[in-house]
Structure formats: C-alpha cells, structure tokens
C-alpha cells in the first residue's frame, strides 16, 4: 500500500473516532476518559495519515508528542499543534486510572469542532498533493 492510500485509510479511521465523539455528549453516560480516548485516537490517526501522505515512517506510538517533531522535520509549522499532545494521557493512562475530580471536564463541543478542523486541514493537505 502506498503512502497516500494508507493516509486515506487512517483519515477514515480518524473520522470514525471523531464521529463517535459526536454521540458522546452526555457526560453521565460517557466519561471524559472515554470521550478523550476517541479524541486522542482521532488526532493520532490524523497525524499519522499526514505523515503517511508524506511517505514518512512513524513509530507505533500513542504519544502525540513523538509524532509532531516528524511533521516539523518535513517543514510543517507546528504552531498550535503542540496543544494536541495534551490528549496523549487519554490513550492509555486515563483508560485505566481516571478520576474525574482531578481535572476540569473536557469542553466536548469545542473539542469536536477542533478535531474536525484538524482532520479537515489534513484532508485538504492530502488532496493538494494528490488531486
């Protein structure tokens, strides 16, 4: 499978995680740990799609802060992208040890909008290099 095809597959998976987030509006049913997991997964898969489209090998990791420097090496201005690294604990730690009293609740609507915006940006970038 070439990089663009793999990127498209990863982007579809990222969109599925983001779509799942939209159905998790009720914090009494879906904890922040579960919602945050899907947010982290959407961002992780989106960044890996971006790297795949560039034909950049990436580590098998859930740590977003390990993926961002790989994009930076390709000339991507990370700017505000570093804030996505804050989702990394939702990939593993919060799935097994979550105390909602420790942190402020996630702003679900804002996070859904921001994740969709990131995925739209990545999809647009892929479309430009592979019309």
Average pLDDT, the chain: 93
Whole-prediction pTM: 0.93
Q: Can you tell me the distance from the alpha carbon of 100 to that of 9, in angstroms, rounded to the nearest whole number?
A: 33
Higher-confidence residue: 114 or 100? Answer: 114
The domain segmentation of the chain, as residue ranges, is: 3-129
The confidence score (pLDDT) of residue 109 equals 96
- pLDDT tops 90 at residue 95: no
Residue 70, token pair as written in the block: 């790989």
Does an H or E element contain 129, and which? helix 108-129
pLDDT tens digits along 30-40? 999 999 999 99
Please state the rounded mean pLDDT for residues 22-48: 95
Q: Can you tell me the distance from the alpha carbon of 105 to that of 115, in angstroms, rounded to the nearest whole number?
A: 17
CATH C-level class of 3-129? mainly alpha
Please state the rounded mean pLDDT for residues 69-81: 95
Please state the rounded mean pLDDT for residues 88-94: 87
Nearest to 43 by CA among 124, 120, 105, 109: 120
pLDDT tens digits along 101-127? 556 889 999 999 999 999 999 999 999
The confidence score (pLDDT) of residue 116 equals 98
């Amino acid at each position: 499978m070439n990089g663009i095809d793999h990127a498209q597959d990863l982007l579809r998976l990222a969109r599925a995680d983001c779509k799942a987030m939209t159905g998790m509006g009720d914090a009494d049913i879906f904890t922040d740990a579960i919602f945050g997991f899907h947010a982290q997964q959407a961002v992780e898969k989106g960044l890996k799609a971006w790297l795949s489209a560039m034909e950049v090998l990436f580590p098998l990791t859930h740590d977003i802060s390990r993926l961002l420097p790989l994009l930076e090496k390709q000339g991507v201005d990370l700017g505000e992208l570093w804030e996505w690294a804050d989702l990394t604990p939702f990939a593993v730690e919060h799935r097994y040890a979550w105390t909602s009293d420790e942190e402020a609740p996630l702003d679900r609507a804002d996070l859904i909008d921001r994740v969709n915006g990131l995925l739209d940006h990545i999809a647009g970038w892929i479309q430009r290099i592979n019309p």
